[in-house]
Amino acid sequence: MDQTAGALLAAKPPLTVLLAGPRGFCAGVDRAIKIVEEAIARFGAPVYVRHEIVHNRFVVESLEAQGAVFVEELDEIPDDGQPVVFSAHGVPKSVPEAARARQMLYLDATCPLVSKVHREAERHHANARHILLIGHAGHPEVIGTMGQLPPGSVTLVEDADAARSVSPPPGPLAFTTQTTLSVDDTAEIVAILQSRFPGLSAPTKEDICYATTNRQAAVKAIAGRSEMIVVVGAPNSSNSVRLREVAERAGCPRAILVQRGRDFDPTQADGLRTIGITAGASAPEVLVEEVVSRLRERFAVTIEEVIVAEERITFKLPAALMGDRQPEPVR
């Protein structure tokens, strides 16, 4: 390091950055993005994608640059023989039914852990249980899960107050949850429902996914040491918003959500000695690096990784994208 660079570094106030681990992409998000990229490689552009493949504008814009075309509904897609990909959040059964009616080739990028919730809901319905779905109204995953069953089969429970007042129809009950909820909030809601409905059937395995659980645990691990936590993620990303809430509840004085480095004002760290950074499950690591770079412009940054779990889970691509054979259109 030359004297000028050394003097500049010395002039910057020190700042310790605690990087939460795990953070960023989960296996379901990684799989969904690969499905779009592989479809473009095999079929050429355009490849249509119903809704944002994951909730992150950087990812969406990167795929658009490769040839993906994002639509809200299937009726926006011309009959040009090109495939359509369903987002990682899952879709109601009516969507693939409509695709088959038009003889469209479709690729389902629904996260396998969301699909597990769908199958679980179907089993409860087959056993004549009414389902209490813990989740957020209007979220694509909730819409997809409720859309697996006939209307009236599912009652949405959004929070603890709703759990105290919900009046499901008489008969056997079961609950299931959105995969990206706050672990602590969900535990409170479940406890209320179980106290009100003692025969309530629970999932055979936790519905909140491993990635959500791990990222929230990592935030809790750094919250007590951080004067501020920066969550890298989109405002419409449920798991990212939950990370910000978890950070504050775990004792961090301030937690903010930013989409990427250019949206982050490093002066917000002025006067602080230690901040934490994490990223939602749909935010790539490059966006975390952007935030760190912004901080380095103003501070002498020391990085410390705080890792609470190692993730080695991967999910296979759909059979239609495996091997060399070109898949036939779905009839």
Which candidate in 73, 141, 227, 304 is catalytic?
141
Using the structure block, give the residue that is written with the tokens 């629970």: 202
Within a domain: 230: yes
Both 239 and 290 in a single domain?
yes
C-alpha closest to that of 281 among 231, 211, 216: 211
Domain CATH number, residue 165: 3.40.1010.20
CB neighbours of 161 closer than 8 A, spacing ≥ 6?
Answer: none
Within a domain: 331: no
DSSP class per residue in 63-130: HHHHTEEEESSGGGS-SSS--EEE-TT---THHHHHHHHTT--EEE---HHHHHHHHHHHHHHHTT-E
Both 45 and 90 in a single domain?
yes
Please indicate, yes or no, whether the overall pTM of this predicted structure exceeds 0.85: yes
Both 37 and 97 in a single domain?
yes
Within a domain: 330: no
Within a domain: 1: no
141 given a catalytic annotation = yes
Within a domain: 329: no
- pLDDT at 326 (0 to 100): 47
Domain CATH number, residue 39: 3.40.50.11270
- pLDDT at 145 (0 to 100): 98
Omega before 150 cis (within 30°)?
no
Within a domain: 56: yes
Q: CA quadruple 117, 123, 125, 129: dihedral positive or negative?
A: negative
CA 74, CA 102: separation in Å to the nearest integer? 10
Within a domain: 2: no
Both 299 and 228 in a single domain?
yes
Rounded to whole angstroms, the maximal C-alpha distance in the chain is: 77
- pLDDT at 9 (0 to 100): 54
Within a domain: 6: no
Both 124 and 107 in a single domain?
no
Question: What are the pLDDT tens digits along the chain (331 aa)?
Answer: 555 555 555 689 999 999 999 999 999 999 999 999 999 999 999 999 999 999 999 999 999 999 999 999 999 999 999 999 999 999 999 999 999 999 999 999 999 999 999 999 999 999 999 999 999 999 999 999 999 999 999 999 999 999 999 999 999 999 999 999 999 999 999 999 999 999 999 998 888 899 999 999 999 999 999 999 999 999 999 999 999 999 999 999 999 999 999 999 999 999 999 999 999 999 999 999 999 999 999 999 999 999 999 999 999 999 889 765 444 443 3
**Number of domains observed in the structure of the chain:** 3
- pLDDT at 6 (0 to 100): 55
Range of the structural domain that residue 66 is part of: 28-111
